[in-house]
Amino acid sequence: MVRFDDILVEVGPFGRAQKRIFFLLCLVSLSMAWIYVGIVFQGFTPPHWCRQPAVQEQRQACGWTLQDSVKMSVPLVNVSGELQPSSCLQYDVELNQSALSCEQSQDLDLRGASLTHCKNGWEYNYEGRKSFVTEFDLVCSDGWMVDMYQSTLNGGFLIGSFVFGYIADRFGRRLCFLLCNIVSMICGIAIALVPNFLTVLVLRAVLGLGCKGSWMTCYVLLTEMVGLEYRRLVGILYQMVISGGIVAMVLLAYYIPDWRWLQVVCSAPNLLFLSYYWFVPESPRWLLSQNKTSEALKITKKIAEENKQNLSVKNIEALTDEPGDSPSASLLDLFRTPNMRKHTFILMFNWFCSALVYQGLIMRVGITEGNVYIDFLISGLVEFPAAFLILFTIERIGRRLPFAAANFVAGASCFITACIPDSVSWLKTTVACIGRLGITMAFEMVVFVNSELYPTYVRNFGVSVCSSLCDVGGILSPFILYRLNAVWLELPLIIFGAIAVIAGGLVLFLPETKGIPLPETIDDIEFPKKPADLHCLPGQNKQPQAYIRTCKGKSCYL
């Protein structure tokens, strides 16, 4: 029986056609990063304090500096062990500008007066950047609404994983991708136009649904179009493009300081992606699973022509494909047996941890006192080595140890960063970047490790269920970061570090999958083969196609 993987060897496992498709779909991953990390600049919260009209008038009349007026009129409160001007309180007195001269105002001492919440809105100290925080006054008691901007996006991610995952399997990858981009384009532009923040949150959730659907559909399409030996490489590089998008976001945000125009630019690529319906073919593998053999052959022949290869008539006539996931696959299959249950819980926690810590460290750049553009650029650049470290270690060392080590490094870096004083900023930034590198490695590794620990008939379903915890982590991350930093700026880092260390420890309970064939049945999971039990048949020393396993003294063919 000839399978599509056999045909790919003949037409070219990663030829010119697949490289063209890979480049086009990587642009989707690039723009996905802009939507994912845009909150750092769109939701930037500058230093702020209660607006007092009399003080503003006096500052202009007397030529005071901003620092002078804040020092005179804003009460000091304890923030992380230091006295700082309050962002949410003012003296409960009525200041009358006309009754005070410039000299009298300078000597004004209000420290004995009672305090109250801001009565006339807020005044912001920022240079040119206009975020939705400053436009809608989302500070103090309304600060939690900034968290919702990212949490609603992740809520959309969660729903999109299931909704568009079903649409892609039922109606095809290309049609699903088209629908996702229409949704993303409409919602992305609408966010930049609506006048109130509640509507922004609703549209943001629908935007997340479309973005996650298009990103996942492209990931699946890529892995189905290339040969077996290129799937891991393509998957890792496709995720690494997100790091490129993060770096590009710095330039966009620097030259586009208005959050609404930045939203328009980040959504504009979806208009280009609509043309992919004519430039990116449907997955032949999916067409075969739907018994649309003639269409699959037509596309496969075009790929062969673009790769300058020829298909043999024998293979064309005998072309079949692997059967789809078993219709009996269910959620219970992931928990029914001991090893499957253990793998599922560990993988779910690692998906949760990766998203929680990764997104938390990204957003933390926006609340530190450094230059947000430089800090964000540096933290984005350190992600690039992650993919190369993964590719270098997984075939030499294995999966488990690098995966666990990446989590341990991320956790330890979070702890150390929290303990380094702000006065040693270069060291604090360096350690934080190492943590960002570690969690990026863990995030990229959990994807393919997940697929190697489930049998074929439940593999896709298992990855979908486990990865849903990724979006749960993304929903909680803004609340942990933005709410707890008000108690102590470094407290979120302590929590992120503890979760990452626990995740790394749990990874050590997973089996090593290096050199082990992908499991086909639950028995392969519950009674795993050991690398020492696997041997190449004669003449197959480099790329074994079959294995012999010693079972109770007898040689069994696998």
For the beta carbon of residue 139, count every other beta carbon within 10 angstroms: 21
Which residue shows structure tokens 């949490």?
Answer: 151
- Please enumerate in sequence order all residues whose Cβ is within 8 A of that of 271, keeping only pairs 6 or more positions apart, or say none: 185
Res. 517: pLDDT tops 70:
no
All residues at 6 or more sequence positions from 46 whose CB lies less than 8 Å from its CB, including other chains: 124, 125, 126, 129, 131, 133, 134
**Average pLDDT rounded to a whole number, residues 448-469:** 75
pLDDT band at 388 (very low <50, low <70, confident <90, very high): confident
Express each pLDDT in 54-94 by its tens digit: 777 777 777 777 777 777 778 887 766 677 888 888 877 77
Specify the higher pLDDT residue, 80 or 365.
Answer: 365
Q: Rg of the chain's alpha carbons, rounded to an integer?
A: 28
- Min mean pLDDT across 150-164, 183-197, 498-512 is at 150-164
pLDDT at res. 558: 37
Each residue's pLDDT tens digit, 527-541: 776 555 544 444 444
Comparing 130 with 364, the larger pLDDT belongs to: 130
Most trustworthy range by pLDDT among 87-101, 356-370, 494-508: 494-508
Q: Residue 110 in contact with residue 93, Cβ under 8 Å?
A: yes
Q: Where are the beta strands (DSSP E) in 93-181?
A: 115-117, 122-124
Tokens describing residue 334:
């992931």
pLDDT band at 2, cuts 50/70/90? low
Most confident segment among 105-119, 131-145, 214-228, 370-384: 131-145
Higher pLDDT, 190 or 322: 190
Q: What is the pLDDT of residue 410?
A: 93
Residues 11, 231: Cα–Cα separation, whole Å = 16
Listed residue (198, 166, 192, 194) closest to 180, CA to CA: 166
Residue 502: which pLDDT band, with cuts at 50, 70 and 90? very high
User: What gap in Å lies between CA 293 and CA 285, rounded to an integer?
Assistant: 9
Higher pLDDT, 427 or 263: 263
Q: Which of 404, 220, 498 is nearest to 490 (CA)?
A: 498
Residue with tokens 């604090």: 428
In the prediction, which pLDDT does 557 show?
36
Map out the domains of the chain with their CATH numbers. Answer: 1-46+126-325 (1.20.1250.20), 326-526 (1.20.1250.20)
pLDDT score recorded for residue 320 = 52
Q: Average pLDDT, stretch 113-119?
A: 80
Judge whether 515 and 528 are in contact, CB under 8 Å: no
Supply the pTM of this predicted model.
0.78
Mean pLDDT confidence for 468-492: 83
Give residue-wise pLDDT tens across range 266-313.
Answer: 999 999 999 998 899 998 888 887 788 888 888 888 998 998 888 775
Q: For 296-352, what is the HEC assignment?
A: HHHHHHHHHHHCCCCCCHHHHHHECCCCCCCCCCCHHHHCCCHHHHHHHHHHHHHHH
Task: State how far the Cα of 527 lies from the Cα of 129, in Å rounded to an integer.
Answer: 59
Q: What is the pLDDT of residue 266?
A: 93
* Mean pLDDT of the region 444-467: 76
Q: Which residue has the higher pLDDT, 408 or 482?
A: 408
Query: pLDDT at position 109, please?
Result: 64
Distance of alpha carbon 214 from alpha carbon 443, whole angstroms: 19
Amino acid at 439: I
Residue 97 has pLDDT above 60, yes or no: no
pLDDT of residue 481 exceeding 60, the answer is yes
Average pLDDT, the chain: 81
The pLDDT of residue 143: 84
Contact 182, 495 (CB under 8 A): no
pLDDT confidence bin for 314, thresholds 50/70/90: low
Q: Where are the alpha helices (DSSP H) in 365-399?
A: 372-381, 384-393
pLDDT at 195: 92
| Percentage of residues of the chain with pLDDT beyond 70 | 84
pLDDT, tens only, 57-67: 777 777 777 77
